[in-house]
């Protein structure tokens, strides 16, 4: 069911840049009727979570909710199993379900997905209609989780509670409360990081992660680009959270710092200068001179490679103005 206290908390996030200098009455924009046409909370939650290719995403809603928001970003994955990111499942709630309840349909849908798709986890999304019906989704998910021995995570993000940004935060809350900290690794890497808020749109994350690994930094988990359920379960063992999209998941990183003492830095990998600065911010957070020296060595090497690759483009574009569409 919708947690009003949590929503109020997320809308008053103290770590947001626009809230830091405000008084107690300050906060994020409150949702207004009809003001979510640019993307509702349900859509935001899906965007935050569907890059997990090894998880299935089940929407407890009429068919229209599923069709309106699915696969809104071209997130890529290296997962070798069945890629669930372009696949969507929904319970097809009808008028009869609104009157008599949709719990039986939800239970059968979870059974179908678990038995036929064999995912590592199932995210079950609450939407406007099912939130108003009042189906006990948490109880059903708990019973099905025990039956199939996989995480079944209910995401309470009906569209009417607010916009897309709030939905992303609600998705982060679901991951924090039901996945993170539920599995332990064989060993803990001294320079392990979590990448938060990079959705690997068109594979951009794969451009810089090899550089980080070359320096000696281990990617423990990602939320959620090219993510894996088992890795996000071990995210609590990382030594640093790296926020790539700070606005949507800043609450998650703040709470992880409170619960697991994991500090965070906010960076951008957009372009040469930002990438160099991001790498330095990450290694400086560890305070290791040897790691910093290795980072400078790799930065110099990679920048020289980039300059060589840019030579033909500089010749073509010399004296011209160009528009970059991103």
The answer to whether position 147 is within a domain reads: yes
Report the chain's mean pLDDT, rounded to a whole number. 88
Instruction: Identify whether residues 58 and 168 lie together within a single domain.
Output: yes
Name the stretches of the chain with pLDDT < 50: 24-25, 36
CA distances from 231 to 51, 97, 175, 195, 225 (A): 13, 37, 12, 11, 12
Instruction: List the structure tokens of 35.
Output: 């003001």
Instruction: Identify whether residues 13 and 158 lie together within a single domain.
Output: yes
Residues 6+ apart with CB under 8 A from 323: none
Instruction: Identify whether residues 203 and 239 lie together within a single domain.
Output: yes
pLDDT tens figures, 299-313: 999 999 999 999 999
Instruction: Identify whether residues 213 and 134 lie together within a single domain.
Output: no
The pLDDT of residue 322: 81
Domain that holds residue 68: 4-19+37-178
- pTM here? 0.88
Instruction: Identify whether residues 65 and 208 lie together within a single domain.
Output: no
Strand 152-156 relative to strand 192-196, pairing = unpaired
CATH number of the domain that residue 62 is part of: 3.40.50.1980
Instruction: Identify whether residues 51 and 150 lie together within a single domain.
Output: yes
Please give the DSSP secondary-structure letter assigned to residue 237. Answer: G
The pLDDT of residue 27: 54
42 touches 69 (CB < 8 A): yes
- Percent of the chain residues topping a pLDDT of 70: 86
The pLDDT of residue 47: 87
What's the number of domains the chain is made of? 2
The answer to whether position 139 is within a domain reads: yes
The answer to whether position 31 is within a domain reads: no
Residue 273 exposed, middle or buried by CB count within 10 Å (0-12, 13-18, 19+): exposed
The answer to whether position 69 is within a domain reads: yes
Instruction: Identify whether residues 156 and 41 lie together within a single domain.
Output: yes
pLDDT tens figures, 48-104: 898 898 999 999 999 888 765 555 567 889 999 988 888 889 999 999 999 999 999
């Amino acid at each position: 069911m919708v947690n009003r206290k949590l929503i109020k908390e997320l809308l008053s996030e103290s770590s947001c840049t626009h809230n830091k200098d405000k008084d107690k009455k300050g906060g994020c924009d409150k949702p207004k009727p009809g003001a979510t046409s640019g993307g509702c909370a349900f859509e935001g939650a899906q965007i935050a979570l569907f890059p997990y290719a090894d998880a299935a995403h089940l929407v407890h809603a009429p068919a229209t909710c599923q069709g309106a928001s699915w696969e809104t970003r071209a997130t890529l994955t290296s997962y070798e199993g069945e890629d669930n990111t372009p696949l969507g499942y929904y319970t097809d709630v009808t008028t009869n379900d609104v009157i008599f309840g949709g719990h039986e349909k939800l239970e059968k849908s979870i059974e179908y997905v678990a038995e036929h798709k064999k995912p590592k986890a199932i995210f079950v999304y609450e939407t406007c209609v099912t939130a108003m019906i009042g189906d006990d989704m948490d109880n059903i998910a708990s019973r099905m989780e025990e039956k199939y021995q996989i995480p079944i995570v209910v995401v309470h993000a009906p569209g009417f509670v607010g916009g897309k940004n709030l939905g992303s935060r609600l998705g982060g809350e679901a991951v924090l409360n039901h996945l993170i900290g539920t599995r332990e690794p064989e060993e803990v890497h001294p320079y392990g990081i979590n990448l938060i808020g990079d959705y690997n749109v068109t594979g951009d994350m794969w451009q810089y992660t090899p550089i980080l690994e070359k320096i000696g930094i281990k990617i423990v988990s990602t939320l959620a680009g090219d993510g894996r359920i088992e890795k996000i379960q071990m995210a609590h063992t990382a030594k640093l959270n790296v926020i790539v999209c700070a606005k949507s998941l800043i609450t998650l990183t703040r709470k992880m710092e409170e619960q697991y003492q994991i500090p965070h830095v906010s960076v951008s990998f957009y372009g040469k200068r930002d990438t160099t600065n991001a790498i330095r911010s990450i290694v400086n957070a560890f305070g290791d001179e040897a790691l910093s020296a290795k980072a400078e060595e790799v930065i110099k090497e990679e920048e020289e490679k980039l300059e060589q690759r840019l030579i033909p483009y500089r010749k073509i574009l010399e004296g011209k103005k160009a528009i970059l569409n991103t």
